[in-house]
A and B are shown apart, each in its own frame.
Chain A
Amino acid sequence: MDCDVFGVSSEENLNYAQKNRNEWEARGQQVVFELKEKVERIWADTGEALSEAGETDMVPLGPKSTTETKSKISSAA
């Protein structure tokens, strides 16, 4: 990096970023096609999002409703 404080770490990050960009150039369109298909299939079947349907390793964390969490905190305080 231009600011010169991160040493070799910035090179490591840059290398991964460039590799990912190259990979994305090669496979990105296919990846997006598959993701779109997957999301639409789940939504059409169940009306649920991927993470709720357990199709992926995506696990939403935290309660669903902010109002709910705020009231929980208020009652805990």
Chain B
Amino acid sequence: MCEIIHLPHFDATIAGNHGYPESIVLSDVVVEQLVDYVTCIAALYQGNPFHNFEHASHVTMSVVKLLSRIVAPSDLDFANGQQTSSSLHDHTYGITSDPLTQFACVLSALIHDVDRCGVPNNQPVKENSKAAVVYKGKSVAEQNSVDIAWALLMDVKYSELRAAIYADETEMHRFRQLIVNSVMATDIMDKDLKRLRNARWEKAFSSDATEESSKDAIDRKATIVIEHLIQASDVSHTMQHWHIYRKWNERLFEEMYKSYK
């Protein structure tokens, strides 16, 4: 995990390109590979009452919804398109103007519980399982999910898909950082991680002046907002209608009951 993920600077040329990135048409090969990748990810989810592919889909929809609802400040001058793009970029810490960041958020939601078994993270640690040893007892399920999903994406059969996601090694590095930070953010049971995350939020949004550059300060905000976006989405059923809340609560109850029985 890294504390600050560096998002791209505002690019006026790209922002001026009307309809970007919606105007980009993916080739049939890329679409086929994406469908195949999602199908494989779906198959790698276990049949748990709660942590299953339906949960992943629910979280993914929430991330998409939240990303689509990132808003412009009310004082923007919409008559000036370029100025609007620039202001929106600043207001949202660069998240809205970077398709790679947004795709990484959505993909992270889809893969965040892949291969998760229906027991909490402390169980494999207690049992000193192979996975617990490999991941040193920290965020075992989440690290396993990242590794499985990443290894699958690196398969030779997805080369065109990867080329459509990132153009060079720098972008690939940023893409992976975003996925690692996002998926790790879904571990809400680890008290140390939670404390660190809260401290990072405080540092990013407190009014105290920091010595870091303005770009680092903005990227720090973007990083922690992204982490909270997926974390909120992971428990989005608690922020939806009572019936939805009850449905997922019941599933979680059953999963926990089976774990502790």
By a beta-carbon cutoff of 8 Å, the part of chain A in contact with chain B is: 1-3, 5-7, 9, 13-14, 16-17, 19-20, 23, 31-32, 35-36, 39, 43, 49-51, 56-66, 69-70, 72-73, 76-77
CB-CB under 8 A from A56, the residues of chain B are 250
* One of B44, B65, B245 near A20 (C-beta < 8 A): B245
Q: List 24 A-B contacts (CB under 8 A).
A: A3-B225, A5-B71, A6-B70, A7-B69, A7-B71, A9-B65, A14-B239, A16-B240, A20-B242, A31-B246, A39-B253, A50-B49, A51-B49, A56-B250, A61-B42, A62-B44, A62-B46, A62-B52, A62-B53, A63-B47, A64-B46, A66-B44, A73-B152, A76-B40
Which secondary structure dominates where chain B touches chain A?
helix
Contact B91 A5 (CB under 8 A): yes
Contacts of B236-258 to chain A: CB distance below 8 A: 236, 238-242, 245-247, 249-251, 253-254, 257-258
**CA–CA, A9 to B232, complex, Å?**
12
> Contacts A3-B205, A35-B250 given: A70-B48 contact, CB under 8 Å?
no
Chain A: CB-nearest residue to B52? A61
Interface size class of B (residues with CB under 8 A): 35 or more
Chain A: CB-nearest residue to B65? A9
> Beyond the given A61-B47, A62-B47, could you list 12 further A-B residue pairs with CB under 8 A, ordered by the A residue number?
A16-B240, A16-B241, A17-B239, A20-B239, A39-B253, A49-B49, A49-B254, A50-B250, A58-B251, A59-B54, A60-B49, A62-B42
**CA–CA, A43 to B253, complex, Å?**
14
Task: Name the 7 nearest CB pairs between A and B, nearest first.
Answer: A60-B47, A7-B71, A13-B239, A9-B69, A62-B45, A61-B53, A61-B52
The contact string, 1 if C-beta is below 8 Å from chain A, for chain B 85-107, is: 00000011101000000000000
**CA–CA, A60 to B48, complex, Å?**
6
**How many inter-chain contacts with C-beta < 8 Å in the A-B complex?**
107
Contact A61 B70 (CB under 8 A): no
Contact B40 A73 (CB under 8 A): yes
CB-CB under 8 A from B228, the residues of chain A are 1, 3
Instruction: Output the residue of A32, A58, A70, A77 with the most chain B CB within 10 A.
Output: A58
**CA–CA, A31 to B253, complex, Å?**
11
**CA–CA, A62 to B46, complex, Å?**
6
CB-CB under 8 A from B261, the residues of chain A are 43
Contact B254 A61 (CB under 8 A): no
> Contacts A3-B225, A7-B69 given: A57-B247 contact, CB under 8 Å?
yes
> Contacts A16-B239, A16-B241, A19-B242 given: A5-B92 contact, CB under 8 Å?
yes
How close is B234's CB to chain A, nearest CB, in angstroms? Answer: 13
